[in-house]
Structure 1
Amino acid sequence: MKINIPYWGEELNISLPKQNVGEIVYPNTVELRPEKEVISEALKNPLNSPSFENFIKGNEPILFIINDATRPTPNAKIIDLLWSKIKNKDIKFIIATGAHRGASKDEYIELFGNHYSELLNKTISHDAKNESENIFIGKTQNGTEVYFDKLVFKAKKIVYITSVEPHYFAGYTGGAKSFLPGIAGFKTIEQNHALALKSTAKALITDGNPVREDIKEAYDLLAKNKQIFSIQTVLNKDHKIYYCVCGETHEAFNMATGKAKDVFSVEIKDKADIVVAVAPYPMDIDLYQSQKAIDNSKLALNENGIMILISSCRKGVGGETFLKLMSSARNPDDVFDKISKGYKLGYHKAAKLAEIMKWASLWAYTKLDPKLLENIFIKGYWNLQKAIDRALEIKGNEKIMFLMDASMTVPRVAPRILHKNKYIYSPTSEKIKSKKSINFDAFFDD
């Protein structure tokens, strides 16, 4: 049986005996309406806010915040729809890079589409490491020192465009995450992301999630004296706009997370001994971002199983700190020992990977050198078919599960009911928690 797998704008083809093909998992299918209609309705009917047209009235400068190219946010589509209303306004754009590098020319074109040339000189990429460009505004209850880009700090009227999907430690992307980490200082991001090591920082959870609550508090410090209009989208499995909600940040975000869960929280019949985790474009930009696919896929993998990551990693590894920590460790346990001596931004990625490596094998088909991957306890393959065949040799006549959009799909195992002395699959919306976890809370003094 032939299986087609998306890979950097093309398809990979592998062959499998039919009896070895397990579940092929995509985000849930949802009914779509015309994208312009969805966005226009949201702009006219925002939550706890004037309509977009009323919001932008007057001559006051307007700052737009957009996500960078590591996110699937449909920036160009939305800017195109807004263009007739904003083109004659005093506008500037800032790309919310967080701690990522600045946008390349190709990424600028991708982000702005038809309006690249008109907006190029009105746009900057946020630089988290440039201390002179980030202003301190206070501390959160967790002690996070909050620095935000001075362009955002000085702006009175802000519009931001984002997309809401599951996030492996912040619960979901979107909402106030456009500000932290989006336009925050490096120290702020580092202190906030250290909270990702806590056990309550996980996908689909916002209440009680220390990372998300810290983000919200930091945002509120900034927002109290500003006019802010959010445009928050939810995409379907093909990155088409399924839902859009606008207006006040927190209310709109809460509405969007429910819709995102409908798309990306996917029920599976059972866990598998072999799971193929596909990180599709744009989350395949590097290994640092592809780790999200690994973290989601662990929820579908049996203990002592094999996970095979498929990601082009077209821009390399990403996250130098994360790579150095993993490469310097003798084994996964040593990763935790090093983190316990002091956290640096990127260590949360290493911790999440090492957690999985304690109970499963991690392989990868990427453009990265297998020798490099071996240094961070990942078995690399240049040939995907060989990786699949070898996994079957090791695990025997098992079914392989394919998560075709593992970066955003959060699998949950359906419970079983006892029927005539046999357990059978019982579809439900109830979430089943993974049994395997590491207690990272020991790293914190509460």
Structure 2
Amino acid sequence: MKIKLDYNNSTIEVNIKQGNVLDVLSPKRVKVSDETEVLRKALSVPHFHFQSAYFRQSAYFRLHKPPLERFLFDAENVLVILNDATKPCPTAKILEFLSGYISGDKFKFLVATGAHRAPTRGDLKLIFGKYFSRFSQALFIHNAKRDEDMVYIGITSRKTEVYINRLAIESDKILIIGSVEPHYFAGYTGGRKAIIPGIASYKTIEANHRFALSPDATSLKLEGNPVDEDIIEGLELFDKEIFSIQVVLSHNRKIYAAESGNIIDSHLLALEKVNEVFAAKAENKADIVVTVAKSPWDINFYQSQQAIENGKRILKDSGILILVSACKRGLGEGHYSEILFSCRTPQEVIHKVNTEPYKLGAHKAKRIAELASRSEFWAATGLPDEKVKKMFIKPYHNIQQAIDDAIAIKGKKATISFLLDGATTVPVV
């Protein structure tokens, strides 16, 4: 049996006996007829159930104009918040659809990097497409570590001090453009995450992400998820009129569904379609799981964690997880690699994270160590072998060889499951 895997924007074919294959999982194949029509419908019926009474009584609702035009009509300083290049949101397509609404000098654009590195010029061209030159003079990149750019707005019940980018504080209104996918500890991407962590300070992000150590911080879960609940509390401190456009992508990255309106409602209403596309029924747990981090999650090992976490969901204890990711820009941000490199065993990593003050990325180190403690963790990447080994991972550069070796260890009757788009496919047993 031949199975095609994406690696570094190309396709690699692996061979395996059909009798060994338990599951080949990927996002559900859904039909997308007209992306423009999907966006048009979403913008014609925005959702504002949770918006303030003042906002519901404002001129926005009295004007007989299209909803987004009503939202923008009296604003003099509008901030448009966009995803960075680590997210698959088709921002350029959405900007094209909105081009009639967002012309003029009252608009600024802020790329919500969270704690990620700044995008390159090439990244920005990818994000903005043909609109890069048009908006480049009004373009700003969020830098979570520039304290002078941040404004304190309050503290959550979990003691997260919330600092937000000054551009958002000084704007009249905010327009958010984003996409919603499963997220391995926040439940889902999109919506509220454009603000926290998107345009929050490093201190705020670190305080919020410490809750990723909780077992309730997991994919497809919002209720009882302390990461999400803390984000929502932080968002409630942010008193701004926000119009949010959230899209759900198909298996081939087309705009399958969209919602607009309040930052909370538009996000929650998108989740049904997210689950339809990205939650995949699995037969059972497997002896071997091959999980593929496709672009943009293959940009570095940090982002590839999404594929690792989804693969873990269907891996038997003492099984072998094989990550396939080019890791084009190395290990990525965060304290996680320093923790892993400083310890001699996975158990030492777990103890270190559990007993020392949390630093951003520690949750990743602990999750990797937990996997390495109960199973074998292998990775076919472009990373140097010595760095991979220091993270308690067996390095490979040939995917077929890794699969063959895994079957040799687990036996001829070993079961193997594939996540062809591991960063977004959430297996449900």
Normalising by the residue count of structure 1, what TM-score does the alignment of the two structures yield?
0.90
For residues 101 and 150 of structure 2, the distance between their equivalents in structure 1, rounded to whole angstroms, comes to 30
Runs ≥4 residues deviating over 3 A: none
- Shift, 1:89, TM fit: 5.0
**8 Å CA contact 1:26, 1:403 repeated in 2:** yes
For residues 332 and 59 of structure 1, the distance between their equivalents in structure 2, rounded to whole angstroms, comes to 53
- Shift, 1:21, TM fit: 2.9
1:221 aligned residue: 237
**Aligned AA for 2:366?**
A
**8 Å CA contact 1:30, 1:236 repeated in 2:** yes
C-alpha change, 1:59 and 1:143, in structure 2 (3 Å) is closer
For residues 41 and 17 of structure 2, the distance between their equivalents in structure 1, rounded to whole angstroms, comes to 48
2:46 aligned residue: 46
1:243 aligned residue: 257
Q: 2:94 aligns with which of 66, 71, 78?
A: 78
Within the alignment, does 1:159 sit opposite 2:210 as a pair? no
- Shift, 1:319, TM fit: 2.3
1:64 aligned residue: 80
2:274 aligned residue: 260
**8 Å CA contact 1:365, 1:382 repeated in 2:** yes
Within the alignment, does 1:367 sit opposite 2:418 as a pair? no
Q: 1:338 aligns with which of 345, 352, 355?
A: 352
Q: 1:136 aligns with which of 145, 152, 170?
A: 152
For residues 363 and 18 of structure 2, the distance between their equivalents in structure 1, rounded to whole angstroms, comes to 39
For residues 6 and 398 of structure 2, the distance between their equivalents in structure 1, rounded to whole angstroms, comes to 15
**Aligned AA for 2:133?**
S
Within the alignment, does 1:389 sit opposite 2:407 as a pair? no
For residues 332 and 391 of structure 1, the distance between their equivalents in structure 2, rounded to whole angstroms, comes to 21
How large is the RMSD of aligned CA atoms in angstroms? 1.2
Task: Show CA shifts across 1:80-123 (max 9, x none).
Answer: 11112212351110000000111101100000001011111111
Q: 2:300 aligns with which of 246, 268, 286?
A: 286
Q: Secondary structure at the match of 2:319?
A: strand
2:53 aligned residue: none
- Shift, 1:60, TM fit: 1.4
- Shift, 1:407, TM fit: 0.5
**8 Å CA contact 2:29, 2:251 repeated in 1:** yes
Q: 2:311 aligns with which of 297, 316, 339?
A: 297
**Aligned AA for 1:378?**
I
Q: Secondary structure at the match of 2:87?
A: coil
Task: Show CA shifts across 1:353-393 (max 9, x none).
Answer: 11212211110001001221001100001111111110010
**8 Å CA contact 1:64, 1:160 repeated in 2:** yes
In the comparison of the two structures, how many residue pairs are matched? Answer: 411
**Aligned AA for 1:240?**
K
% identity of equivalent residues: 43
**Aligned AA for 2:231?**
I
**Aligned AA for 1:164?**
V
Task: Show CA shifts across 1:286-305 (max 9, x none).
Answer: 00010111011111111110
- Shift, 1:320, TM fit: 4.5
**8 Å CA contact 2:334, 2:360 repeated in 1:** no
What are the ranges of 5 or more consecutive residues in structure 1 without an aligned counterpart? 414-446
1:25 aligned residue: 25
For residues 248 and 73 of structure 1, the distance between their equivalents in structure 2, rounded to whole angstroms, comes to 19
Task: Show CA shifts across 1:392-423 (max 9, x none).
Answer: 1001112321101110111011xxxxxxxxxx
| Residue correspondence of structure 1 range 137-216 to structure 2 within 5 A | 137-216=153-232
**8 Å CA contact 2:299, 2:328 repeated in 1:** yes
For residues 102 and 305 of structure 2, the distance between their equivalents in structure 1, rounded to whole angstroms, comes to 37
Q: Secondary structure at the match of 2:313?
A: helix
Q: Secondary structure at the match of 1:257?
A: helix
C-alpha change, 1:92 and 1:255, in structure 2 (3 Å) is same
- Shift, 1:132, TM fit: 0.5
Q: 2:339 aligns with which of 316, 320, 325?
A: 325
Within the alignment, does 1:234 sit opposite 2:251 as a pair? no
Within the alignment, does 1:411 sit opposite 2:427 as a pair? yes
